[in-house]
Structure 1
Amino acid sequence: MRCLKYIAVCLFATLQLFSQQKKLVELIHADSLVGKKFDSKTVRELIGNVHLKHENIYVWCDRAIQYVDENRIEAYGNLKVKQDTLILEANQGVYLGDKKIALCEGNVKLTDGRTTLEANYGNYDAQKKIANFKSNVKLVDSTTIITAEQLFYYRTEKKSIAVGNVAITNLENNITIYGGYFENYDSTKYSVIKNNPKLVQIDTSSSGEIDTLIVIGKFMEAFRDTNISMFSATDSVIIVRGNLSAVCGDVFYYDKKELIILWRNPVVWYENSQISGDSIVVKLKDRRIDEVYVYGSAFAIDPADSSYPERFNQLKGKTMRIKFKENKIDEVYVEKNAMSLYYIFETDETNERKPNGVNYVSGDSVWIKFKDGKMHRIKIIGGIEGVYYPEELVQGKESNFNLEGFNYIKRKPEKNAKLEIVWVK
């Protein structure tokens, strides 16, 4: 009885061993075949219209050397590997049958449905369904082009990881994001980019001029939903677009809604004006600034006159709304604890512009109308208080009259011809 049990166990182990053995690569066709021994190993040279099969994987090439004992194929000329809907092409490569891995080089191209991946070198693991491409990598799908030094493509998870000089171009909105490291999850339409990320959107303004948006930060994410397209940048964020530039802790850009939201100590410059607050929302219309909303500790600063660099018109309150017309500030409305400080200038008989003191006005709300970018009318609503300080009290002591919280930043970010961020006064 013990002997029968022992035989049964041995037989079961033998069957398991056979079931675990790797299947050999099968030859379906070759115009000619030459068999030989090399270092006591069986080697076959296959020439002309070579067609091989390994389980659910098919291989074609012009010429192949089959190492039968190692279950390995060296393929040369018009190499093509196919697994279900995936097709891998290259000038030449090696197929490792035991591991189901194809190692390719020279004009390597992987096609999988709507995704095409190209590089100088590429490996594909048919068991794990993972591709690893290196050198001049380019991935193209229906809406995106990715270039990098190296890219990992996970078929099952529909995920891509790109490393080294990464550039991701979205063909729908002409946005390109650059960085050192990129992850994309196609099934959830989510992407993240690290290592000096930079977003660039090149657009044309209504006047026909090139209008480019640049956003940099330490960490970026993209959410590409059908109804909403949102990009976010985190930590030390800088934004430049046309006459607008900004710095903040975090920014959220809703491309389809034409909305920019700035959080954590945002400061926005528009031409010579500086705006700050707890948070700022910029509404665009046809890619142009339409309205700016400032929430919490709203503060606007505008140089009063270039001949008097220490004089600044100032406006502050709880909230602020700035409306634009033809790309210029049209009106400003401040609510709750509104305060306004503006310098007065008069023109004498010789047409010379001379200073004439400063006005301080406060109220429940302040409305200011602009003309040609300059303050034209001001209206105070509710709880009005006002003080006028004559020129003899102001001259040389301008900083004493600044409103509480005044912080004018002389350097602001701009972009140069190379689309790099530079700081200018």
Structure 2
Amino acid sequence: MPSSNRRLSLSVALALLVMGGSYLTSRASYRGYTGGTVATPQTQTKPGAKPGTRIILDHADLLSYDASLQPGVQRLKGSVVLKHGNATMTCDSAYLNEDAQVFEAFGDVHMVQGDTVHMYARYLYYDGVSKLARLRHNVHLANKTTDLYTDSLDYDRIADIAYYFEGGSISDAQNTLTSDYGQFLPATNDAEFRYNVKLVNDKTTMTTEHLFYNTHTRISSYEGSTLIKSDSGQIVSQRGIYDVGRDVGILLDRSEVYSGARTLIGDSIYYDGPSKFGEAFGRMQLSDTVQKAILYGDYGYFDDKRNYAFATSRAHAEEYSQKDTLYVTADTLELISLPIKGRRPVDSLSTDSTATSKLDTMQRYLRGYRHVRVFRRDAQAVADSLSYVSMDSTLSLYGKPILWSEERQLSGDTTHFYFRGKKLDYVDVLGSALTVEHIDSVDFYNQMSGDSLRAYIQDSTVREIIVRGKVESIYYMKDEGTNEYNGLNRMSSSTMHVYLDSGRVSKSIWLGPVEGKAYPLAMASGAEVNRLERFVWAADRRPMRKEDITTVGDSLPPSEQRSIPLSDLKRFSGAKAAMVAYEPFERKAREEAQRTDSLMATYRGLDPAAYRETYRCVLRPLPTDGEHDSPHTLIDTSWVYRAFSSREDQDSSSTSSSTGILKGKNSPSESNALGGK
């Protein structure tokens, strides 16, 4: 028996030795991970793999192996360190399959790629053949400038790309980006985002469907429906490039820019938020809700800091501040706004909370250059150029303008329209003035010409016309019985007044030397009789509908129009136009500043007594001023109207023809002047 026991002991020892050797020389096999959403098939490393490409186990507190449970798989626990090339992975525990060159890591997983990219997660599956790392649960990727957070991240070491697909965010020093799908290249800081993309920082919020973004340069490229909100305004776009840091963008595919009360739309737009200007190319539309105007053109520009807008190439404008919209077209249109010095809103001048009107604090200029055409339901005009000044409420047409209203035509060298309370008050025609009225459907025309003409307007109807300087007129006469035309009256004088009622002449007055001759209708068929020398009836030039303004130069309907090539638009410069437009105002401001500096230098050289003596009329009096003043006041107020002392004086008053000031008819001063007592 002793020999039998010894043989049994040797057999057991030999078996243990064989098992231990097998354990020490075995290679772990991969156990497929089924606890998560990722399924990774088992692969086998090809024989003869290159040295240095294998996963290396650098450290583990405990290594165990059970071939019956997990053939070929080593179980690692405690401070596990694995290396593959220039990547190092640490974790609490892991399964390592050296044959397949894959492992799974659990716990506090930390992966470092080349000492520059750090990745953290609760789970990691790594394939050493494809060099693909799949991190799950509370994933955090970080490099020197960027942090990425998600719950599922794949990192391709060969391409150096990290991407998530179940929602995530990327943050840098200023911005946070979130999306359903995203990928990030740590080496170049380039990122791509898709689906429900949102970028947020202190000044900007951007939402889009597809975004390329560099976390270092902070320049983005977007596609799809995009909304950008910033301190300077709002952008609606489909495609473009946007510098998030500088708030500057190149916007394509019919984008829209909102800045204050202005909206800029164009096929392509260059936008600078901090400078508050935009430049649009192709089918530009610039609207201003405060000024109630819209500018159109193939090229447009606006500078919000200077309150300047510019449109050219098929440019036209719509002004809708009144009941009837005004349509204007020209080769070039400008809208300039300047602050009125010393003008403050009514709210700052009065405490009346019921006041609804406010003083306008801006003076506005609208200018049109070359081939001006104007249309409104009650009036139409053509001219070479146009100017409107809001403070004076004056609209001026230059370069042989022609104005039509109903059947009446008005022309001259220059025409000025004066408005009062948004209604036309009167019109001045200067140089070669001519007014023509077409009578009914026949070829009869009432005519007046002179050196200048003024027409007074009431309720959009001409009520009075005054013509001065070499006045000539032709008016057709009607038979009162038959109400048919029976002749014409041709007259000349130095001045002519015509009063109209419902568009018809009710009274006419000729002043100065008057010459005239009446012709029966049978003798008035020739142009030498029925036409003035300056006569012209330009009905073919008259805009008859708004489409004559909005589609000027286009034979195609608006839906089929195409903008001119971008290469042709490069010759325009809105910035240069703004500088040219503002140069006269800036020159005037410099001159005023120089004049002010000169006055300041003058009075600063005076001593206090001399200064007060010089400017005493505008300074608050001192208590001692009255003791030494002469009995004569500094300002003569004798011309100021003084109220009558009695009702009789008031009843016997008249109006002075020279000053328009009421004066008593039998006042002592008048009696003395007439020799009375």
Shift of 1:410: 3.0
Q: Superposition RMSD on alpha carbons, in Å?
A: 2.7
1:78 maps to a residue whose letter is N
**1:165-205 per-position Cα deviation (integer Å, ceiling 9, x unaligned):** 22222212432222211111111111111120111234664
1:317 to 440, 443, 450: 450
The worse-fitting range, judged by mean Cα deviation, of 257-266 and 46-55 is 46-55
Question: Which position in structure 1 is the counterpart of 2:492?
Answer: 361
Partners of 1:344 and 1:359 within 8 A in 2: no
Identity %: 18
Quick one: which of 544, 552, 558 aligns to 1:414?
Answer: 544
1:13 paired residue number: none
**Is there any run of 5+ residues in structure 1 with no aligned partner, and where?**
1-22, 206-210
In structure 2, what is the Cα distance between the partners aligned to 1:104 and 1:421?
33
1:339 equivalent in alignment to 2:469: no
Structure 1 residues 109 and 278: alpha-carbon distance in aligned structure 2, compared to 1, 3 A threshold: same
Q: How much has 1:128 moved relative to structure 2?
A: 5.4
CA deviations on 1:11-58 (whole Å, 9 max, x unpaired) are xxxxxxxxxxxx954115333433222xx3322224566333344444
Corresponding position of 1:193 = 311
Aligned residue in 1 for 2:531:
402
Q: Is 1:27 aligned to 2:161, yes or no?
A: no
Alignment partner for residue 440 of structure 2, among 297, 306, 309?
Answer: 306
Question: Structure 1 pair 256/80, CA: closer, same or farther in 2 (3 Å)?
Answer: farther
What is residue 15 of structure 1 aligned with on the other side?
none
Q: Which of 500, 509, 514 in structure 2 is aligned with 1:379?
A: 509
SS at match of 2:462: strand
Distance 1:254 1:415 in 2: 26
Q: Which residue number in structure 2 is paired with residue 111 of structure 1?
A: 229
**Greater C-alpha radius of gyration:** 2
Rounded Cα–Cα distance in structure 2 between residues aligned with 1:269 and 1:83:
56
- In structure 2, the residue matched to 1:124 is 242
Rounded Cα–Cα distance in structure 1 between residues aligned with 2:547 and 2:247: 43
Q: Do residues 87 (structure 1) and 200 (structure 2) align?
A: no
Structure 1 or 2: more strand by fraction = 1
Figure out how many residues of one structure are paired with residues of the other and give that number.
388
How far off its partner does 1:413 sit? 1.4
Residue segments in structure 2 that go unaligned for 5+ positions in a row: 1-142, 339-360, 553-677
Q: Which residue of 2 aligns with 1:276?
A: 411
Alignment of 1:139-154 (within 5 A): 139-154=257-272
Structure 1 distance, partners of 2:236, 2:365, is 28
Q: What is the Cα deviation at residue 313 of structure 1?
A: 2.0
TM-score for the superposition, normalised by structure 1: 0.82
Deviation at 1:392, TM superposition (A): 6.6
Structure 1 stretch displaced more, 115-124 or 147-156:
147-156
Q: Is the 8 A contact 2:232 2:273 kept in 1?
A: no
Which moves more between the two structures, 243-252 or 54-63? 54-63
Q: Which has the higher helix share?
A: 2
TM-score after normalising by structure 2: 0.53
Distance 1:308 1:135, change over 3 A: closer
- What letter corresponds to residue 359 of structure 1 in structure 2? R
Cα 1:419–1:287, aligned 2, differ >3 Å: closer, same or farther?
farther
Alignment of 1:183-262 (within 5 A): 183-202=301-320, 205=323, 211-225=324-338, 226-254=361-389, 258-262=393-397
State the shift of 1:160 in Å. 0.6
Whether the 8 Å CA contact 2:146–2:215 is kept in 1: the answer is no
Counterpart-to-counterpart distance in 1, 2:450 and 2:337: 36
